[in-house]
């Protein structure tokens, strides 16, 4: 007898689980509390700017296997674009220095032997920091591994902040090392920068919803699960306001909501439940230009630039939008947003103008500031230990989300992996075959 899989949460973890399960013997329903699916990886029409923007910036890599599997299943693998070579333009605002990190395509890191392709001022001895990250013990922080010098200051520290959304002095070296193993250690073929050609929703959400519709999965938006009933170690019902959904003996619940929501729903009734309880914010500033800038050099090739020595970390050029990401933004929580926006605009001008045919205006254009206060869990060793596995003490309850024990920091790749892991657990419970790997 087929069961019913109830997926609570329509972010990428929940959509990933649904995509893996839809079309099989199980009936699939997704419950999304908000008006639209996608969570922190979606696009929307910003009425203030009068155009669509992403609610956050996400730089993916060609070596993200779960991302490309998911996009392949929903027919959206061609919606990610990026340079043909593993190039990463950078600017050091403090030293007024510009360069392009140009990685070798193969596993042999020939780029470190070329002054033109590597980080300016780096010493080969500093590469020991990369090895230390890949061998890091669970309790080590990033700062424990890095060698003092230009490689750390101009690449590895900014890389750590972006990947972990946590500062290097407290960020988990093991989590960063896991990303290094899947990217830099595998060579430039795995490090081609990728981002949506149009927007996050157009790549990750809309095609998934269309795919689920064809396969007769039910996606319910504006459907907030307000309670979970449990009895004898099983989930017996979900409450959605006045509505009560009975969970049958053959049914499964996948809780694919953010960690604080999962804790509020499960902590009182699920033995052994734990979840990260400290979080870091991300600040995004979207500037609307009167016309798209005409770019040259590495910036024209990549359409983004890394920024060292400022508040900004990444600037993405998206037609008329210049979009800036500031990770680990708790450190700026008490700063005035208007003041920050002015400082960031000056940094954007310093980063973009030398590569633009026409300089940007000195006066700040229309903008939208988006602060995600709980963007990710704080990727510290202590918080990493609180991340739960997919399976729980309740036989019919599974967990998914970038905050679960994926072995990666809170990333799109980790979120999609978690949903796929939950789907595999459903098939294991039922003794059925899932989609081919």
- Is 90 part of a structural domain of the chain? no
User: Is 269 in the same domain as 410?
Assistant: yes
- Is 204 part of a structural domain of the chain? no
What is d(CA 166, CA 300) in angstroms, rounded to the nearest whole number?
29
Give me 344's structure tokens: 């960031």
- Alpha helix stretches (DSSP H) within 155-232: 157-164, 173-182, 200, 206-214
Cβ–Cβ < 8 Å for 337, 345: no
| Overall average pLDDT of the 111-139 stretch | 96
User: Is 325 in the same domain as 177?
Assistant: no
Of 94, 1, 158, 98, the C-alpha closest to 353 is: 98
Distance of CA 225 to the CA centre of its chain: 24
Burial of 216: CB neighbours in 10 Å, binned 0-12, 13-18, 19+? exposed
For residue 97, the SS3 value is strand
- Is 341 part of a structural domain of the chain? yes
User: Is 310 in the same domain as 425?
Assistant: no
User: Is 265 in the same domain as 295?
Assistant: no
- Would you say residue 203 has pLDDT above 90? yes
- Would you say residue 432 has pLDDT above 80? no
Of 300, 322, 304, the C-alpha closest to 314 is: 304
- DSSP conformation class of 429: H
Query: Residue 353 belongs to what domain range?
Result: 45-82+193-199+279-377
| Predicted confidence (pLDDT) per residue in 251-301, tens digit | 999 999 999 999 999 988 999 999 999 999 999 999 999 999 999 999 999
Cβ–Cβ < 8 Å for 54, 324: no
Tell me, what's the pLDDT at 25?
85
**What does pLDDT average to over the chain?**
95
- Is 254 part of a structural domain of the chain? yes
User: Is 356 in the same domain as 397?
Assistant: no
| Overall average pLDDT of the 64-76 stretch | 98
| Overall average pLDDT of the 67-73 stretch | 98
Domain end residue (candidates: 147, 170, 190): 190
- DSSP conformation class of 72: H
Output phi, psi for 114, to 5 deg. -110, 120
We report the CATH number of the domain holding residue 72 as: 3.90.660.10
* Model confidence pTM above 0.75: yes
What is d(CA 160, CA 321) in angstroms, rounded to the nearest whole number?
26
Give me 35's structure tokens: 């008006």
- Is 109 part of a structural domain of the chain? no
State the pairing for strand pair 4-8/27-31: parallel
User: Is 171 in the same domain as 30?
Assistant: no
Q: Of all residues in the chain, what percent carry a pLDDT higher than 90?
A: 94
Tell me, what's the pLDDT at 436?
62
- Indicate the number of domains in the chain: 3
User: Is 361 in the same domain as 387?
Assistant: no
| Overall average pLDDT of the 65-74 stretch | 98
């Amino acid at each position: 007898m087929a069961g019913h899989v109830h997926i609570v949460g329509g972010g990428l973890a929940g959509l990933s689980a649904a995509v893996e399960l839809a079309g099989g013997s199980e009936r699939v329903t997704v419950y999304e509390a908000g008006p639209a699916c996608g969570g922190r990886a979606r696009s929307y029409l910003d009425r203030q700017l009068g155009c669509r923007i992403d609610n956050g910036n996400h730089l993916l890599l060609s070596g993200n296997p779960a991302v490309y599997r998911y996009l392949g299943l929903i027919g959206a693998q061609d919606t990610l674009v990026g340079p043909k070579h593993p190039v990463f333009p950078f600017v050091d605002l403090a030293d007024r220095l510009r360069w392009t990190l140009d990685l070798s395509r193969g596993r042999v890191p020939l780029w470190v032997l070329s002054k033109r392709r590597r980080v300016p001022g780096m010493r080969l001895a500093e590469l020991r920091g990369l090895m230390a990250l890949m061998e890091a013990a669970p309790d080590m922080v990033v700062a424990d591994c890095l060698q003092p010098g230009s490689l750390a200051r101009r690449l590895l520290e900014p890389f750590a902040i972006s990947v972990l959304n946590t500062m290097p002095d407290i960020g988990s070296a093991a989590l960063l090392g896991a990303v290094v193993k899947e990217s830099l250690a595998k060579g430039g073929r795995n490090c081609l920068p990728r981002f949506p050609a149009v927007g996050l929703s157009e790549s990750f959400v809309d095609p998934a919803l269309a795919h689920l519709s064809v396969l007769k999965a039910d996606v319910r938006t504006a459907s907030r699960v307000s309670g979970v009933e449990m009895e004898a170690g099983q989930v017996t019902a979900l409450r959605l306001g006045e509505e009560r959904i009975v969970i049958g003996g053959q049914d499964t619940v996948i809780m694919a909501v953010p960690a604080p929501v999962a804790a509020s729903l499960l902590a009182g009734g699920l033995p052994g439940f734990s979840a990260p309880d400290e979080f870091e914010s991300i600040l995004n500033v979207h500037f609307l230009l009167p016309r798209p800038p005409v770019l040259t050099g590495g910036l024209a090739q990549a359409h983004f630039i890394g920024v060292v020595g400022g508040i900004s970390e990444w600037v993405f050029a998206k037609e008329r939008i210049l979009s800036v990401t500031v990770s680990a933004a708790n450190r700026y929580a008490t700063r005035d947003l208007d003041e920050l926006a002015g400082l960031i605009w000056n940094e954007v001008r310093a980063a973009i103008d030398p590569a633009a045919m026409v300089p940007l205006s000195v006066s700040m254009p229309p903008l939208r500031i988006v602060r995600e206060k709980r963007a990710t869990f704080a990727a510290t060793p202590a918080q990493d230990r609180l991340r739960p596995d997919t399976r729980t003490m309740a036989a019919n309850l599974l967990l998914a989300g970038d905050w679960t024990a994926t072995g990666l920091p809170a990333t799109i790749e980790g979120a999609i992996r978690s949903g796929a892991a939950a789907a595999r657990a459903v098939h294991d419970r039922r003794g059925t075959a899932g989609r081919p790997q």
